């Protein structure tokens, strides 16, 4: 090994800088497997931010969506569960810890909207803290799985009351689940759905 | 014009705006003020300085990051590459068109030179020149990082993971191998 190679490899700051220029997929999949030192370097704050594991505090003009999640999880209904269900469903799978964007939404508004007896009603829940994909998944799945519903995600700009809104729209809240849309298509192992959200009371829906 | 003196005592007359890409040199120039005094660069050899200060044929912003280091050929697949590292057609095409002529010229340096550039760039504080080229396959048709085994072999790194530890890391990220 040459002298300059040796110096770059053995200087954590230089190695960190060099790794920071790797494509995110290689930084996630390849770099941590080389040795313990490299693993430790992928866990520095700078690289954790690049990997969407830690929120980036530096102000920036535009929000970047997590490209790995965008590639692998185009929308919640096309997650490739059926191809590698184990890799996705295991609790330690790293996608669960990944932020959905950088900087991440700090305030998530969840709205359930129902058309019911000639009126439109809604109830709301708010989730504080940086939004990670695992939490997003846990919030969304029960909403879209329970009833006939349409679902939408809206990203907000500065000045709105929340950074991101997740809204489920039901045809009729009193309907018992008729179709469990996600059953066979989206995961092969039945998982227990949890929805710990504390919703407010149903009320008239003002903004639709 | 600014006069720079490299570690091998070669003198360089360089445009001021080019050398001012380097934070170190910029600060030095501000410190000495207008002066004909040569600026010594004891950590930088002449061959490396030539690369680092290549004039205006380069991008206007020298901050091209690792981009120029992803070499491009859509036609040939490296047979040794595991399928998980293959990139989508779209991504490949994007990268191909992203690489300017300057970038391509820049990467035609040997491995040893690259390491010296990394060191020199770090010394001169031109962070954008730091590169990942050395983590990649040297062949022209490379599109991703080498596998961990190859990186270890190349840089004499001992695999100090137990098989269990290695398996655990793989398990966490296995989902991303699917595309």
A90/B171 touch (CB, cutoff 8 Å), yes or no: yes
Percent of chain A with pLDDT over 90: 17
Tell me the pLDDT tens digit for each residue of A88-98: 878 889 988 99
Decide if B146 touches A, using CB distance below 8 A: yes
Task: Compare A89 and A83 and report the one with higher pLDDT.
Answer: A89
Contact partners, residue B78, CB within 8 Å, separation at least 6: B137, B139, B141, B142, B143
Give B78-103 pLDDT, tens digit per residue.
Answer: 333 333 333 334 444 344 444 445 44
pLDDT 10s digits, B18-70: 777 676 777 777 777 767 778 888 777 887 777 766 643 333 333 333 333 33
Helices (H), B23-177: 23-32, 46-52, 89-98, 101-107, 111-124, 148-154, 163-173
Confidence of residue A149 (pLDDT cuts 50, 70, 90): low
**8 Å CB contact of A25 and B144:** yes
SS3 for B46-59, per residue?
HHHHHHHCCCCCCC
pLDDT digits (tens, 9 = 90+) for A38-52: 999 999 999 999 999
* Strands A101-102 vs B39-40: parallel, antiparallel or unpaired: unpaired
Q: What is the percentage of chain A residues whose pLDDT exceeds 70?
A: 72
Assess whether pLDDT exceeds 70 at residue A154.
Answer: yes
Distance from CA of B50 to the nearest CA of A (A): 17
| Banded pLDDT at A8 (limits 50, 70, 90) | confident
Minimum mean pLDDT among A29-43, A55-69, B82-96, B106-120: which range?
B82-96
What does the pLDDT average to over A65-69? 80
* Chain B residues 79-118 with CB within 8 Å of chain A: 84-85, 88, 111-112, 115-116, 118
Lowest mean pLDDT among A8-22, A169-183, B38-52: A169-183
Q: Which stretch of DSSP H or E encloses residue B18?
A: helix B16-19
What pLDDT score was predicted for residue B122? 65
Q: State the pLDDT confidence band at A182, using cuts at 50, 70 and 90.
A: very low
Structural domains in chain B, CATH included, are 2-52+100-176 (3.30.710.10)
Cis status of the peptide bond prior to B82, with omega within 30 of 0 = no
Per-residue confidence at B123, pLDDT binned at 50, 70, 90? low
Between residues B170 and B38, which one has the greater pLDDT?
B170
Q: Quote the minimal CA–CA distance from B83 to chain A in Å.
A: 13
A202 CA to chain B: closest CA distance, Å? 38
Rounded CA-CA distance A200/B156 in Å is: 60
Show residues of chain B in contact with A22, CB under 8 Å. 66, 132, 135, 145
Q: Which helix (H) or strand (E) holds B4?
A: strand B2-5
DSSP letter for each residue of chain A:
--HHHHHHHH-HHHHHHHHTTS-HHHHHHTGGGS-HHHHHHHTSHHHHHHTTSS---S--SSPEE-HHHHHH-SSGGG--TTTSHHHHHSTT-GGGGSBSEESPPSEEEEEEEEEETTEEEEEEEEEES--BHHHHHHHHHHHHHHSSEEEEEEE--TTSS-SEEEEEEES-TTSPP---TTHHHH-SS-------------EE----
pLDDT of res. B14: 79
Residue B125: predicted pLDDT: 57
Task: Return mean pLDDT, chain B.
Answer: 63
Chain B residues touching residue A2 (CB < 8 angstroms): 112, 115
pLDDT range class, residue B163, cuts 50, 70, 90: very high
């Amino acid at each position: 090994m040459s002298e300059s190679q040796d110096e770059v490899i053995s200087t954590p700051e230089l190695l960190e800088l060099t790794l920071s220029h790797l494509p995110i997929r290689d930084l996630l999949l390849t770099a941590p497997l080389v040795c313990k030192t490299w693993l430790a370097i992928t866990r520095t704050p700078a690289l954790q931010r690049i990997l969407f594991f830690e929120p980036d505090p530096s102000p920036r003009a535009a929000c970047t969506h997590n490209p790995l999640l965008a590639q692998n999880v185009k929308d919640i209904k096309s997650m490739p569960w059926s191809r590698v269900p184990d890799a996705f469903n295991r609790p330690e799978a790293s996608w669960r810890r990944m932020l959905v964007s950088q900087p991440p939404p700090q305030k998530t508004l969840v709205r359930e909207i129902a058309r019911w007896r000639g009126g439109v009603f809604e109830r709301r829940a708010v989730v504080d803290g940086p939004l990670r994909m695992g939490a997003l998944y846990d919030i969304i799945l029960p909403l879209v799985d329970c009833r006939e519903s349409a679902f939408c995600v809206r990203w907000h700009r500065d000045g709105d009351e929340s950074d991101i809104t997740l809204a489920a729209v039901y045809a009729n809240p009193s309907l018992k689940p008729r179709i469990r849309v996600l059953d066979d298509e989206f995961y092969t192992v039945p998982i227990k759905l949890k929805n710990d959200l504390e919703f407010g009371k149903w009320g008239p829906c003002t903004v639709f | 014009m600014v006069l720079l003196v490299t570690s091998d005592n070669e003198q360089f007359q360089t445009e001021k705006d080019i050398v001012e890409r380097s934070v170190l040199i910029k600060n030095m120039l501000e410190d000495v003020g207008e002066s004909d005094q040569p600026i010594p660069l004891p950590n930088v050899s002449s061959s490396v300085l030539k690369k680092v200060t290549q004039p205006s044929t380069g991008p206007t912003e020298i901050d091209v990051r690792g981009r120029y280091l992803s070499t491009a050929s859509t036609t040939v697949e490296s047979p040794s590459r595991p399928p998980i590292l293959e990139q989508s057609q779209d991504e490949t095409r994007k990268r191909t068109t992203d690489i300017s002529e300057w970038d391509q010229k820049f990467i035609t340096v040997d491995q040893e030179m690259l390491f010296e550039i990394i060191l020199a760039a770090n010394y001169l504080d031109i962070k954008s020149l730091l590169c990942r080229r050395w983590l990649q396959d040297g062949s022209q048709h490379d599109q991703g990082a080498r596998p961990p085994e190859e990186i270890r072999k190349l840089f004499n790194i001992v695999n100090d993971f137990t098989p269990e530890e290695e398996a655990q890391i793989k398990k966490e990220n296995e989902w991303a191998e699917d595309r």
